[in-house]
Amino acid sequence: MSTSVDWRFTEDLSRFEEPFKEKFADVLKEISKTYRFGEYKIEVSTSWELEGRRPDITVFIEDQPFLIIECKRALEYSPFDDFPIGQAYTYALLAKNKGYRVDFVATANQYCMFILKVPDDLEKYANWDAIKRREYNRAFRRELYLKVRTELYVDTLGYELLPSKEKLYEILNKIIKERKKVKAEPFSEGVIKTLKSFVNFIHAFSKQYISYIIRNKLNKEFESLKKRRGVSLSPEQISKEFAYSLMNRILFYKALERYWKLEKLEPLYGKELNGEKIDNGEKYFKALKSFFRKAVEVTKDFEPVFILEFHDKLSLPSYIAVLNAIDGLIKYLDNVEVERLGDVIGYVYEELIDPEERHQFGRFYTPHGVAELIVKWCIRNESDKVLDAGCGSGTFLIEAYKRLYELKTGKKLDGLPERDIHEQIIKQLYGIDIDEFACHLTAINLSMKNIINPSRDLNIIVSDFFLRLPEQQVLLPYEIVTAEGVERRKIEIPKFDCVIGNPPYTRWTEIPENTRNYIRESIGALMSRYELTPQVTRGLEPPIYVFWIMHAEKFLKENGRLGMIISNLWLQTDYGVKFARYLLDRFKIHAIIDIPLRIFEALITTTIILLEKCSDEKDRMNNEVVFVRLPSEVRDIEVDEILRAIKEKKHDKLYVYVYKQSELSRSDKWIKYLFGIAEIEKS
């Protein structure tokens, strides 16, 4: 075997190594122009001199050097070698002699960056004779070189030829936060409670005022909004949503201001803005909207987050307590990891929905484990297009985002994704929801995945699902600013590789009349064929999730997968027998997973169904169906264990029964298959 190095590779690498320092500095300079770090800005220099020596790259904050980077040729040095480490620390020591404090040093080549703290007592390790002779591998006592692997170590960044702007930004953001020595409060239960308290407080003080505005100024618009949503809607509910969206927009702006060159949002009450003193609720809300509009203008994105047509016609009451509370939230968020708001915002939203309204429209939010299981089974390829037609707060689409990232990169998502990967994934995800606030949540959740590089291709549609069809063009209600001017964005709905979600659990009589009409228009013939047309007087009242799945089939490609969590009542009812016949004729039924625990706060037990669209009857009938029942006493089964049980068709902790699809009854209730036919017959 030859041990020689490919000369073409070394030649290409050598050509790149010459300008490496400049290219690395260019990435840093681009970051300095585009982003900010809280209240800090950075400046980058390749010409700063220290006693006749010049660091390769120096990063400054407020005219003070805080990071020195020593760049080396990959063919000569590793960033972990003593020589470049000693050289970087030498520059930090020379800077200290001039009265500067350098907090961090780093060494870098074309494949790795090694970041280290600068000890307060750096001079005690110095070997000045070696420093004078530029023998940097001996410039400090051996003890210092050993400490770089332990207490002085900060982070290592790997890459090929040059780090991405996103990853380099993450490193800078991390060490700047460490430099500040201020630990941001994580998004804990305490933070969630604070946010809930804020919304409830604003709502309590605003509901009468907002009801007054609706009755006297916006009654026509309010009636139009009620008709569009198709659900009961009161001014009090609008007040709660207004308070919630106000919190959302402030949170999101506070996250953006840490990454974009946006004016810092600070307490506004009593301040002057554009020559006007902010001394009442109307002026305060007007000022907030100006910040929100500026965020859209600067980022050229996030319209679904910041633009809420009806809410923007409302206003705040002029109670000092209300304005002080908003000021307090703005100050509070300066010490909170608002970048993580997407992880918990759905839980805040769920508890704010009125229980009666939640029941009426079947709003139950999905635990992450359930969404993860469905997504992992449904999404097989990195190019899969995915639809959640009742996207709620975005739980399923966030899990789909993580799954696609892993398939595209071979690694789990940790931190900010690369810009090109983020843009690819966003284009593959589609969400529909009748509730504009659910879409508002999904937009926030997906946007927060890469807030420093937002994508213009967010495919979130406010609509009744039964109004939509595949290969349909949807005109969005809000405008965007492009190089050609102001225009309304269009979304083309494709056919999908995966349809996922948690459809509403609403009974037929509770579905708004206009939605019932849409259902009849969309799948009336199919309902009639399978005797699923509701006949309330005869007791035939299938819930909406039955029709949801029948409509969702239209959106699937052949061999596309459908995974949903629904009530398990269909397994033990007459309408469920008819629904089962429909499933047998349209899908390979891969698995039905019964979950006896009430995983939602609502009193509903659930079933996960995993289906594959298949028009070949022979393939369908030869398919093996796995029925899985989770024992009620088992609470810690991992998602991967359940997926393995489906694949291997057995498990030592779960009840697993396997049948040919051709063996499943077209006239009996399927609940028996979850317990084993023999056991049922014995009883």
Residue 36, pLDDT score: 76
pLDDT of residue 138: 92
The percent of residues above 90 in pLDDT, for the chain, comes to 47
What confidence tier does 106 reach under pLDDT thresholds 50, 70, 90? very high
pLDDT band, residue 360 (cuts 50/70/90)? very low
Does position 596 have pLDDT exceeding 80, yes or no? Answer: no
**Cβ atoms of 419 and 30 closer than 8 Å:** no
pLDDT confidence tier of residue 197, bands split at 50, 70 and 90: confident
- With bands split at pLDDT 50, 70 and 90, how would you rate the model's confidence at 116? very high
Q: What pLDDT was estimated at residue 345? A: 57
Res. 105 pLDDT band, cuts 50 70 90: very high
- What is d(CA 284, CA 314) in angstroms, rounded to the nearest whole number? 12
User: Phi and psi for 443 in degrees, rounded to 5?
Assistant: -60, -40
Residue 537: the pLDDT is 75
**What's the topology of domain 503-682?**
Rossmann fold (3.40.50)
pLDDT of residue 6: 38
Q: What is the pLDDT of residue 682?
A: 42
Identify the pLDDT of residue 601.
44
Q: What is the DSSP string of 265-303?
A: ----TT-EETTEE--SHHHHHHHHHHHHHHHHHHHT--H
> Rounded distance, CA 2 to CA 32, Å?
46
Per-residue pLDDT, averaged over 297-308, amounts to: 80
What are 11-32's pLDDT values in tens digits? 444 444 458 889 999 999 998 8
Using CA atoms, how far residue 308 sits from 289, 573, 653, in Å, is 10, 42, 49
| Mean pLDDT for all residues in the chain | 84
Report, as an integer, the average pLDDT of 347-363: 50
The answer as to CATH 3.90.1570 being correct for domain 7-180 is: yes
Q: Where are the alpha helices (DSSP H) in 333-435?
A: 345-352, 355-360, 368-378, 395-409, 419-428
Q: Is residue 374 very low, low, confident or very high in pLDDT (cuts 50, 70, 90)?
A: very high
Label residue 316 by pLDDT band (50, 70, 90).
very high
Which residue from 493, 451, 445, 442 is spatially nearest to 470, judged by alpha carbons? 493
Residue 480 clears pLDDT 60, i.e. is over it: no
The predicted-structure confidence for 175-194, as pLDDT tens digits, reads as follows 888 775 544 455 556 677 77
> CATH number of the domain at 357-498, out of 3.30.420, 1.10.3470, 3.40.1000, 3.40.50?
3.40.50
Q: Give the least confident one: 49-63, 199-213, 416-430, 482-496.
A: 482-496
348: pLDDT strictly greater than 70 = no
So what's the pLDDT on residue 338?
Answer: 67
pLDDT: which is higher, 245 or 268: 268
Tens-place pLDDT, residues 44-55: 999 998 888 999
Amino acid at 457: D
| Per-residue pLDDT, 62 | 77
Q: Is 166 within 8 Å of 453 (Cβ atoms)? A: yes
Please indicate whether the domains covering 7-180 and 357-498 agree at the CATH topology level. no
**For residues 301 and 455, what is the distance between their CA atoms, to the nearest angstrom?**
7
Query: Whole-model pTM?
Result: 0.71
Domain boundaries along the sequence of the chain: 7-180, 189-352, 357-498, 503-682
pLDDT on residue 603: 45
Q: What angle do CA 36, 67, 148 make, to 5 degrees?
A: 130
Q: What is the pLDDT of residue 651?
A: 87
Distances (CA, A) of 443 to 52, 304, 446, 547: 53, 6, 5, 26
Q: State how far the alpha carbon of 158 is from the alpha carbons of 209, 406, 492, in Å.
A: 55, 18, 38
